Amino acid sequence: MRIIFFSKPSYPNLLSKINKKRISVGVVGVGYVGQALIEGMADSGIKSYGFDINKDKLRNIKNSSFTPVETLNQLNKCEVICICVPTPIDEFGKPDLTYLTKACENVSDFTGKPRLIIIESTVAPGTLRNVVLPLFERKGKKLGSNFYLAISPERIDPGNTNFNITNTPRVVGGVDKLSTTLATKFYATFIEKVVPTTSSEAAELSKMLENTFRLVNISLVNEIKEYADSIGVDFWEVIDAAATKPYAFMAHYPGPGVGGHCIPIDPVYLLEDAKNRGLDLKLTATAIKVNNVQPQKVVEKARESLNGFNRNRKPKLLVVGIAYKPNTSDTRESAGAKILEVAENDGFEVTYFDPYVPKLNGYTSNLLNTDFLNSQDVIIIATHHDNIPYELIAKIDKPIIDTRNVMSKYLDREGVKANGPLDQGGARTKGPYSTDLLKYEGEYT
Ligand SMILES: NC(=O)c1ccc[n+]([C@@H]2O[C@H](COP(=O)([O-])OP(=O)(O)OC[C@H]3O[C@@H](n4cnc5c(N)ncnc54)[C@H](O)[C@@H]3O)[C@@H](O)[C@H]2O)c1
């Protein structure tokens, strides 16, 4: 008599564990995205373990459902692995997948139980299937028995008080149907709405579309604002007027250039991948160019505002708000930091104030008081944190380049008037004030 042993099929077993939340989740990379994931899962009672090459990041997470680990191999015990490492652009402006491939290489060495691997990092369409999947297969791992593979691009908007990881719908796409189902079920254990796509490429491209949409629209308003300025029209009033259309218009706002790890970067991934396929995405390419020149344009305005300046010394330029986004300390790709660099190269003596960023690139945030403000020749408001003393700034008799339209409301108030030339924001006396809209729109991710 022959006895045949069937190994336990991995899919139903993993599915059942996920549905019952009897899983441990390993998070590789616990920066902004990894940390948000850990906290979202913890709120739903899911235990997680995390590894980061930067040990400080691990120490920052204080959550009883989370256990930091010393080596990546210790995540071998987890049924689900979420990879949340950076996907930046390199010094030549090209996509840099080295963090992702390194992390995946290491995870592909895991042995034992079958597991679900999910990439949360943002990548160009086809990366999961053509770059990540072969890494696992080269190690002899078989899709559908040793591992399942899906992508779920994170949508976190740091500082957004309306939308968090739980109430923001999540797009999920696997390299095959079983992977899509497992990943969908996994996210459904702690996210209110999960949106499966029929391929990993569709999920990857959805993220590219979201962020390219924002870049194109922000570049568009920056461009039209120049035109509005040239005909003497307050463009902020124009946007508010256009935004009263109840359908088919979404307000975007001008600024000194977009920042962060997403909007300035993701369209570059899309553009480069399209180029490799012989496609020229002209609109995306133009939006990137328009965005990249904004800091330079702001510095030019500062220079123009100093018409007649005493040339015996360098003009002093203060940047207010150096983080890329209001009420956060994140300075990645910050337009304010670029303004400092451009202005310094342009012969300004530069300095900044940011209550969230004590030091940056060798500069130190200054204390903001009347004497200090009066010692400056031009003030640029680059990011509009809530806790900046705008009233104090408004009383200073110096040119203010207000790239966020925060100063206009002080113009109408009795006893408080910006005396120097006020640029960009312009005066606005009626209509809804747009700060709440800005926050809601999450403009700066
Ligand atoms: N920050 C956001 O708002 C946001 C939103 C949506 C999507 N994303 C995407 O998510 C991804 C991660 O972004 P983030 O903002 O969390 O980046 P981050 O830099 O804050 O965090 C990434 C972490 O990964 C760690 N890391 C790098 N290589 C590693 C490795 N081999 N093993 C373990 N850890 C490693 C880094 O030390 C860092 O702590 C990127 O692809 C980004 O585009 C970010």
Q: What is the pLDDT of residue 310?
A: 73
- Provide the edge-to-edge strand list for the sheet that holds 47-51: 66-68, 47-51, 24-28, 80-83, 115-119, 147-151, 170-174, 194-196
Give SS3 for 146: coil
Q: Which of 71, 75, 154, 157 to mutate to test the pocket of ligand 1 (most atoms within 8 A of CB)?
A: 154
Q: How far is the CA of 73 from the centre of ligand 1 (A)?
A: 19
Residue 163 beta carbon below 6 angstroms from any ligand 1 atom: no
Give the residue numbers annotated as catalytic, written as ranges. 262
Maximum CA extent, the chain: 102
Residue spans of alpha helices (H) in 139-262 = 177-188, 200-230, 235-242
State pTM to two decimals: 0.90
The full set of domains in the chain, from first to last, is 10-198 (3.40.50.720), 223-441 (3.40.50.720)
Tens digit of each residue's pLDDT (9 = 90 or more) over 250-279: 999 999 999 999 999 999 999 999 999 999
pLDDT of 363 higher than 90: yes
Tens digit of each residue's pLDDT (9 = 90 or more) over 236-255: 999 999 999 999 999 999 99
- Compute and round to an integer the Cα radius of gyration of the chain: 25
**Residues 32-53, mean pLDDT to the nearest whole number:** 96
Q: What is the pLDDT of residue 426?
A: 39
Q: What is the pLDDT of residue 159?
A: 81
Closest CA to 330 of 374, 370, 276, 385: 385
Tens digit of each residue's pLDDT (9 = 90 or more) over 364-394: 999 999 999 999 999 999 999 999 999 999 9
Residue 263 beta carbon below 6 angstroms from any ligand 1 atom: no
Mean pLDDT of the chain: 91
Banded model confidence at residue 427, pLDDT cuts 50, 70, 90: very low
Q: Which of 55-69, 80-94, 205-219, 420-434 has the lowest mean pLDDT?
A: 420-434
Amino acid at 148: Y
pLDDT of 79 higher than 50: yes
Residue 213 beta carbon below 6 angstroms from any ligand 1 atom: no
Q: How far is the CA of 87 from the centre of ligand 1 (A)?
A: 7
Across 120-124, 158-162, 413-417, which has the greatest mean pLDDT?
Answer: 120-124
Q: How far is the CA of 76 from the centre of ligand 1 (A)?
A: 20
CB atoms within 10 A of CB 358: 9
**Residue of 159 and 211 predicted with greater confidence:** 211
